Structure 1
Amino acid sequence: MRFPQSRFRSPALVLTIGLTFAALWSAAAAQPPVDDVSKDYSSELPRIPPHEPAEAMDTFQVQPGYELQQVAAEPLVASPVAVSFDENGRLYVVEMRDYSEQETERLGTIRLLEDTDEDGRFDKSTVFLDDLSWPTAAICYDGGVFVGAAPDLLYAKDTDGDGRADLRRVVFTGFDRSNVQGLMNTLQWGLDHRIHGATSSSGAALRPGDDAKTRPVTLRGRDFAFDPRTLKVETTSGGAQHGMSFDDWGRKFVCSNSDHLQLVMFEDRYVARNPYLVAPSARISIAADGPQAEVFRSSPVEPWRIVRTRLRVSGVVKGPIEGGGRAAGYFTGATGATIYRGNAWPEQDRGLAIIGDVGSNIIHRKRLEPDGVGLVGRRIDEKSEFVASTDTWFRPAQFANAPDGALYVIDVYREVIEHPKSLPEMIKKHLDLTSGRDRGRIYRIVPAGFKQPKLPRLGGATTAELVALLEHPNGWHRDTAGRLLYERQDKAAVEPLRRLTTESKSPLARMHALFALDALAVLDAESVLRALADEHAYVREHAVRLSERVLEESTEVRRKLYTMVGDDDPRVRYQLAFTLGEISERRRNEALSQLAMRDGGDSWVRLAILSSLSTGAGDVLARVAADEEYRQSDAGRGMLEALASQVGANQQKDEVTELLAVIQSLPPNDSLLAQSL
């Protein structure tokens, strides 16, 4: 069938729309003679009408080579904020109809969308689950769906085949609800066969839903992950606002409203093992153009934003004055940070970072480049955006990698997206914060000339077929195959997986096979050793991480790790610095010392080394201090001072003795270093 597609290409059309909006916004843009809390601002705050689904397609500008196709709209869906595809290509949609002030009305639903004629456009809609308050996340598992609806994380399942959930239970509870725009969100399947979630700014004191006596897990400033089979939960690094994604190699990306692209640099568990280490935030901004970078919207600035900025600048109302007093033109509502992992787009665009800005009605993209052991994101589109709309109702809040290899765009489609407490009362009373809760759209971004592939039916795949799918070029297929293998726990997968770790030409498949073996509790030292020698650096990196499963039992694996201080890839050595801390024997200190002298000038590698030294810092300090050239370098002094600080915090007698011995042995020309230690 013919898709509703973006058709906005005409400069004349742009001018016509611009002139139409100019009349509407002229009152808001004009500076009134006097601002006051008692003033009636109704004349400056006109209501903005929506576009019907078909009409909305004319409002989009899309970069050449791509198309935006509408795959669902009201009445099939309303207020969508998140989605999850099941193994057969059906789409579960989280509908947050009660955004933003309907805290007690329980209007939220999970809707099941199906494409019954397989033309790529959904045509059947069923309410799978209702009576939810502020739902924000969902992920498919074992024929059902985990649903995030603070304070709870629920599991719901349809057991009789009618499309509606008849099983519903609270799995975890304790997510805070104090901020409607800081709720838990974004459930994602990880390489480690855990479900990962973003806690956001509200935090949590998380405990099992059926056990009020269990000591809660505190998630303030941290994210979480849980095993869907055992329901064991753990803290993870993160703690950004709304949106979280992994790339093909398991690196984690997040964002906040005014910090549009962030990378998580380390796992929380590594720094938690060393109580003497003062660690920086694991979450860092990686956008080359800055956290609150300039954006190039095609929509007019909403009147309420103009008035609010003016009132803040003049001091009539309190609130942050951002952008130098500009009402728009920079990231203010960044959300849904997602790494494109599909196979429909051109090869050079796979792995791009995609971010929406619900306040600017745009979709932004960045190319990721190596930057030491981290990454940097660089703007692709000069003075324009990947997708932009003249419709201020366009609110791209989330994205999803899909079975067809495309990227799906989740458009809440609301007249106003803003925290109620951020709106001064003299503005808020002229707005309707519920306007649009009966509307919503889902799009997909595809390359020009895209041909609809056959809908996958992985639910009926054999174990052997699932193993083979770990080589699929689409990330959705690899993740879903891995999830189904984990659900089934079929030991018939073991030998094919072991063959895949060595015989596959795809490094991604070799990595996935290693994690699948681990998920089946059959990862052995032999498989790890082969992977530690893999030709691809990122496979070696993950093999180092997975070696932690067999370190205690395998002397050979430990010996191999000690030799990997000479690995050519910095990310392999970075992971090695963390993993060596899982070894208790003193010999690991020699390897850590070698890493310190090679990479200690990198603050992240230094952190990894220190995380591994809850004990042994004195020994490593003595080893690296013995090298005069390193000792007198800037990197060496920084490393030695950090080690000395850790020895001082630890106060173990033997390590303090080693530190004092080093200081006493330093020659006169190292007196400044001696004083700093």
Structure 2
Amino acid sequence: MSVKSTMLTLLVGLLFIKCTERKYSETIYQKPEIVKEAPSTFLSPEESMETFYLPEGYRVELVASEPMIDEPVAIAWDGSGRMYVAEMNTYMQDVDGTGTNRSISKIRLLEDLDGDGKMDKSTIFIDSLLLPRMILPLENELIVNETYSYDLWSYKDTDNDGVADKKERVYYNPNPRGGNLEHQQSGLVWNLDNWVYTTYNPMRFKFKKGKVIVDSLDNMPSGQWGLTQDEMGIMYYSAAGSENPAYGFQQAAVYGDYNPKGRLSEGFVEPWPIVGTPDVQGGPKRLREDGTLNHFTGVAGQEIFLGHRLPPSTYGDLFIPEPVGRLIRRAKVRVEDGKKVLYNAYDQAEFMASTDLNFRPVQAKTGPDGALYIVDMYRGIIQESNWTRKGSKIRPHILRKDLDKNIGRGRIYRIVHEQIEPDGRPDLAGKSASELIEFLGHPNGWYRMTAQKLIVLKDDQTVVPVLKSLALDNTSFFDRIFNGDKDFGIERVHALWTLEGLGVVDKTLLLQKLKDEDPRVRITAIRLGETFLRSGGSDFIPHLKPLVADTSIEVVNQLALSLRYSRSEAATDLLSEIDSKYQQNEIVAHSVMESLKKDDSRLEQLKLRIAKRSLGDKRSILGGYDTYKQLCITCHGPDLKGVTPENGLAIAPPLLGSPRVTGDPDKLSKILLNGLIGPIDGQEYGIMTSYKSNDDQWITDVLNYIRAMNDADAFNKKVVRNARIETEDREDFWTLEELATE
């Protein structure tokens, strides 16, 4: 047979395979009849799984349950596929949260010894913790953060018995973390850009050669419980406090928080539970006539699924656990003229829903086996004690349903598809840097990110030439023929970022990659080129000019974002050219506007605003500004005008122009000390929680910041101290009517 005939036969065979690719049903389940007042009885894992509803072809498998785990909140895998599980063992053990702050919580290490996907061995890796909330496995250590602290600790198991025996603090902040335990950071996500991100805190971390580098960011998204990234490193945040299921995903977090209107499609914020949900913090206004939740409220632990062992249509979808609604939303991420817009994958239905009132999904994760994992805290109460106090709308429902009795359990599931077998256990931990390179092109994002992380941590410079070659051209003719389903573009993206993690940003290579056939690679080359834009030289900018006419609007937008780092006139001219060409495009126009500001920021504006104040007042106001960005911005907004979700119902009152802010500091202090409930200026909002657990200076600083933004005088912490003494026996929230008589 001639070479020509052989090639023709190969091509015909490949075409046949392509035409016979398996198709998967997307048929949603038939909803059960809604039971408005379902029982809250504890069910066994097997019984609870019978209450789950999923689309046709999907099924849930049990990975671990009590007594192997107890009150799980977060999971992560090391390179060998061992699963670390963070447990909040003291969380809401009764309706008042008694004993919450005891340091008896744990992190467990689970192992699947026979490779069947179900955990066989549970070891207490770390104990005596205060509500651990963030875990990140590195090469041979686990990074951990506990509640009420900014500190990061490294734990190592030096004798391989499954128990940590070496502890070292790798990041220290002497200030305690304020706020209740729901208003704390989460995440520790190793991003594509080799920085580690968390929610709330305007900073990021880099683990480099045994040291931790800290970088502060201005106006990055805040978020609450849950943080995830897509294949290009774009982070997705959520905030239960502001009932916001997803935000911050239009651009990389380093460029700031940007949330254009319409990013959530019409009706997206409406969840569709299949059981009555009476235990809703918002009360009757948050329930439909059938007793089901009518708006996202407890969103937590979202995940962009980057696995490869579910139907291909799930790749890149955002899965959002809603523990109050006992469901998980599957959102399609569509790019419409440069804007990312989220759509519910199903019409008035959810990807996963349960009739079990104790089903409390708090995290979703892409697993090493390519499946989707779900962490179910499996308990009665999900809200923290600030929202279950006497006088709250939810407390009576908790007590009458005996939800406060349902504690001390937990389950971890994986969602698989009946037509696709999950992969086995990974084996990356013992591999060298050169051996890990092949996994940068793996179809499972978990493998790609884990391989990149491990190569960077090993800091083996001998792999640099191989990575450069991979980034330059990884698609030979035979690669395209025999690996037709492989995503070569994303492999080049990871090769470039891995080089960056090793300290290699090669200008010659980047100039070639600006012309790469894959827009994701061109975007990566632009971002990495920011190194040369920051250096002050303008010789890189002429090579960027052709990208103004790029066929991908996302490439153009990245160019507009990155040019802010150059102070040169050439960069300004290029931004003006982009503005002229794309002024009708909402996303690009915004990026141009922000980049043209260059030196402008809220912090700089604030410094100018308070320039004539005393040094002590300045310190207090700037300290309050930092806290406000971390804690208050979710509900009150960056401009203090209040956050208004897509449904138009404001979550919290505006602080700008508020007579309570500019008025009596004593009454203002009492609001922060004990919280506020009831109508404000004729409008109902959510409960303003108590911040009594924070010290007098912390409260003073926050209040001085919001007063400064109203051009009101600062005050001394003695005002807060006196208000605290005066109200030390008070347990209830304030109402404005009560405060008026004070």
TM-score by length of 1: 0.75
Between the aligned partners of 1:108 and 1:477, the Cα distance in structure 2 is: 30
Deviations 1:539-570 (A, max 9, x none): 11111010112344876533201232222222
CA contact (8 A) 2:564 2:598 kept: no
Q: Does 1:189 align with 2:181?
A: no
2:263 is the alignment partner of 1:286: yes
**2:274–2:292 Cα contact (<8 Å) kept:** no
Relative to structure 1, is the Cα distance of residues 436 and 285 closer, same or farther in structure 2, using a 3 angstrom cutoff?
farther
Q: Is the 8 A contact 1:264 1:284 kept in 2?
A: no
Residues 289, 224 of structure 1: alpha-carbon distance in 2 compared, 3 angstrom cutoff: farther
Shift of 1:289: 3.0
Shift of 1:465: 2.0
Residues 299-354 of structure 1 deviation map (CA, whole Å, 9 limit, x = unaligned): 2324x449x835xxxxxxxxxx4468976233121112211000111222211110
Question: Does residue 243 of structure 1 match 2:244?
Answer: no
Structure 1 residue identity aligned to 2:558: Q
1:607 equivalent to 2:572? Answer: no
- Corresponding residue for residue 122 of structure 1: 119
Query: Kindly tell me: are residues 10 and 371 of structure 1, through their superposed partners in 2, closer, same or farther at Cα, counting changes over 3 Å?
Result: closer
Quick one: distance in 1 between partners of 2:545 and 2:588?
A: 16
Is the Cα–Cα contact under 8 Å of residues 63 and 414 in structure 2 kept in the other structure? Answer: yes
How is 1:446-465 mapped onto 2 (pairs within 5 angstroms)?
Answer: 446-465=416-435
Quick one: distance in 1 between partners of 2:419 and 2:288?
A: 43
Give TM-score scaled by structure 2 length. 0.68
CA distance in 2, matches of 1:497, 1:587: 32
- Pairing 1:261–2:246 present: yes
- Structure 1 residue 230 and structure 2 residue 211: aligned? yes
- The question of whether the paired residues in 1 share the 8 Å contact of 2:72 and 2:85 is answered with yes
Shift of 1:434: 5.9
Q: Which moved more, 1:246-255 or 1:94-103?
A: 94-103
The answer to whether structure 1 residue 525 and structure 2 residue 489 are counterparts is no
Corresponding position of 2:41: 49
Alpha carbons 2:433, 2:460 under 8 Å: kept: yes
Look up the equivalent residue of 1:486 and give its one-letter code: V
- Is the Cα–Cα contact under 8 Å of residues 368 and 376 in structure 1 kept in the other structure? yes
Q: Quick check: which one's strand share is greater?
A: 1
Task: Specify whether residues 10 and 334 from structure 1 end up closer, same or farther in structure 2 by C-alpha distance, changes over 3 A only.
Answer: closer
Taking every aligned residue pair, what percent have the same amino acid on both sides? 29
How many Å apart are 1:48 and its aligned residue?
Answer: 2.3
CA contact (8 A) 1:401 1:408 kept: yes
1:348 equivalent among 297, 300, 313: 313
- 1:164 is matched with 163
Residue identity opposite 1:393 in structure 2: N
8 Å Cα contact 2:276/2:292 also seen in 1: no
* Counterparts in 2 of 1:434 and 1:177: CA distance versus 1, 3 Å: farther
Q: Which amino acid aligns with 1:439?
A: R
User: For 1:295 and 1:323, how far apart are their aligned partners in 2?
Assistant: 11
Q: 2 CA distance for matches of 1:76 and 1:342?
A: 26
Aligned CA distance change for structure 1 residues 233 and 283 (closer, same or farther; 3 Å): farther
Give yes or no for contact 1:355–1:363 (8 Å, CA) kept in 2: yes
Say yes or no: does 1:479 pair with 2:478.
no
Deviation at 1:14, TM superposition (A): 5.2
SS of match in other structure, 1:118: coil
414-423 or 86-95, which moves further after superposition? 414-423
- AA aligned opposite 1:349: T
Q: Distance in 1 between matches of 2:351 and 2:255?
A: 37
Length, aligned pairs only: 540
Letter in 1 for 2:182: Q
Task: Give the corresponding residue for 1:364.
Answer: 329
Q: Which 5+ residue runs of structure 2 have no aligned equivalent?
A: 1-27, 476-487, 601-742
1:420-569 superposed matches below 5 A: 420-425=385-390, 427=396, 435-505=405-475, 506-551=488-533, 552=535, 557-569=540-552
413 and 615 in structure 1: CA distance in 2 versus 1, 3 angstrom threshold: closer
Deviations 1:149-180 (A, max 9, x none): 12133221111111111122332344624222
Please name the residue that 2:154 is paired with: 155
- Aligned equivalents of 2:348, 2:187: Cα separation in 1: 30
Q: Distance in 2 between matches of 1:478 and 1:466?
A: 9
1:649-664 pair list within 5 angstroms: none
Tell me the SS of whatever aligns to 2:310.
coil
Deviations 1:510-550 (A, max 9, x none): 01111111111122111111111111112111110101123
Compared CA separation, residues 158 and 602, structure 1 to 2 (3 A): same
1:367-419 deviations in Å (ceiling 9; x for gaps): 11102332111111223211111101001100111110011001011111113
In the other structure, the counterpart of 1:637 is none
Q: 2:543 is paired with a residue of what secondary structure?
A: helix
RMSD: 2.7
Cα 1:615–1:190 change in 2 (3 A) is: closer
2:554 to 541, 566, 571: 571
CA contact (8 A) 2:286 2:295 kept: no
Match runs of 1:40-119 below 5 Å: 48-100=40-92, 101=97, 102-119=99-116
Output the amino acid matched with 2:275. Answer: S
- Post-superposition shift, 1:106? 1.5
Residue identity matched to 1:165: A
Measured in 1, the distance between the counterparts of 2:438 and 2:106 equals: 36
Mean Cα displacement is larger for which, 78-87 or 418-427?
A: 418-427
Aligned to 1:652: none
From 252, 255, 272, the equivalent of 1:296 is 272
Query: Partner residue of 1:622?
Result: none
How far does residue 290 in structure 1 lie from its aligned partner after superposition? 4.5
CA distance in 2, matches of 1:399, 1:118: 21
SS at match of 2:596: coil
Per mean C-alpha deviation after superposition, the further-off stretch among 424-433 and 473-482 is: 424-433
Structure 1: distance between partners of 2:264 and 2:293? 19
In structure 2, do the counterparts of structure 1 residues 123 and 285 end up closer, same or farther at CA, with 3 Å as the change threshold?
farther
When residues 14 and 367 of structure 1 are mapped into structure 2, their CA distance, relative to the original with a 3 A threshold, is closer
The equivalent residue for 2:142 is 145
Shift of the 365–141 alpha-carbon distance from structure 1 to 2, 3 Å rule, reads same
Amino acid of the residue matched to residue 246 of structure 1? Q
CA apart distance, 1:608: 2.6
